[in-house]
Amino acid sequence: MSVHDPYAPESGDPSYDVESYDLTLDYRVRTNRLEGVAVLNVVAAVAVSAVSVDLVGLRTTRVRVDGDRRTSYTQGPRKLRVKLPHRMAPGERFSIEIVYAGAPAPRRSRWGTIGWEELDDGALVASQPTGAPTWFPCNDRPDDRARMRISLTTDAGYLPVPTGRTRSVSSAGGRVTAVSESTVPVATYLAAAHVGRYESRTLTGDARVRVVSPPALRASVDRAFADVPAMLALFDESFGSYPQEDCTLVVTPDELEIPLEAQGLAVFGVNHLVPSEQRLIAHEIAHQWFGNSVGIGRWSDIWLNEGFACFAEWMWSERAGRASLAQKAAKHHARLSALAQDLVLADPGPDLMFDDRVYKRGALTLYALRCALGESVFGALILDWATSHRHGLAGTAEFRACVEQHAADAAGEVGSILTAWLDEPALPPLPVPERR
């Protein structure tokens, strides 16, 4: 049975797992009004008589378990407590239908405000790590990944863009509806919905990629995303074939502090279209392998998501004829050397889980392994990691085991390397490639 994640102890309920979500949403841009019906198809993990569902800032008006009109529930500021019609046995399946509405807004957290966010003319979702309950009721645990169907309706003149492969887009009565579906497992924090005055088109050079952006930004978007087909080719070669059902790149006319990835999707602000921000495109695309396909079951393993995505940035830089892996490693090692040496990468703590040192030290850990193992063995290692755990959960312990398997006679050496980089706060020396 799962337990509450100590990094987000108020999120999620380990007594059940969600197998699929079916969300029917209606959003009015002018009034920021969201109405929704969510059906959670779940399975009991233990014997249970009541379950908690995460929901923040939105009011529930009806709950039914397996269609039972007599279902009773109570709602607090963070949780919806649902009484089950009888005590469910472990492994027993049931459905929870929740009708809710309100003005969605970001929630305040130790990581800032996260969740559903109004733009100047539209909306976006930035859920990581605990913002999903600001727009749909869910079991908000990183290890509880589920299939999803999302139907999102909004005002005419806007394009709704929910996570998943688009099944249909239709208009009726001055409203437009997009229906999407994800048959691969999706973590709640990787579900997203975007609304804007967008056009949707296929990216030149790679038919897999859909670009969603304001028509006025078409030329700037084309220039910014010109290298995306080559990035995908590099990552396909290095990490295995693209693992998601969709590859959608959304650009808002607003400036965003950082780009945001979701399952099969990433959103960028207009400020990310400039050359100085190009590395972020590679970073967000790489997350489709690391974080969104190979997922973590607990937040303390976040370095696996961010370290791999950062390392992929460096790989792209070298492939594109810019700074090499060695140059990138040296640059960021020098920067980390000047910072506090109080972060343990394998367990940074909730306050530091998104610290830039997690990203860069994670990438340096991978670079250290590459230096020790050589390019060929390291390439086989990361390919194996990405493919053997495709659409599964894997943490630091599994990564150590994977490294040991590929290290062969050098297992003791790389074990010491991992201990120094992952378990000790002091920054190890800059790795030097061994001659092989």
Nearest to 250 by CA among 327, 198, 294: 198
pLDDT digits (tens, 9 = 90+) for 215-225: 999 999 999 99
> Any bridge partners for residue 194, and if so which?
161
Neighbours of 401 (CB within 10 A): 10
Residue 280 burial (10 A CB sphere; 0-12, 13-18, 19+): middle
The CATH 1.10.390.10 portion of the chain extends over: 299-423
Residue listed under structure tokens 């090499």: 324
pLDDT of residue 371: 96
How many angstroms separate the CA atoms of 160 and 145, rounded?
A: 23
- Topology of the domain covering 16-286: Immunoglobulin-like (2.60.40)
Given a cut of 70, the residues of the chain with pLDDT beneath it are: 1, 435-436
Residue range 299-423 in CATH 2.40.440.10: no
Residues of the chain with CATH 2.60.40.1730: 16-286
DSSP string spanning 269-282?
Answer: -GGGGSGGGTHHHH
**Distance (Å, rounded) from C-alpha 258 to C-alpha 304?**
19
Give the model's pLDDT for residue 6. 96
CA–CA separation, 245 and 252 (whole Å)? 22
* Residue in 80, 65, 91, 60 with CA at minimum distance from that of residue 13: 80
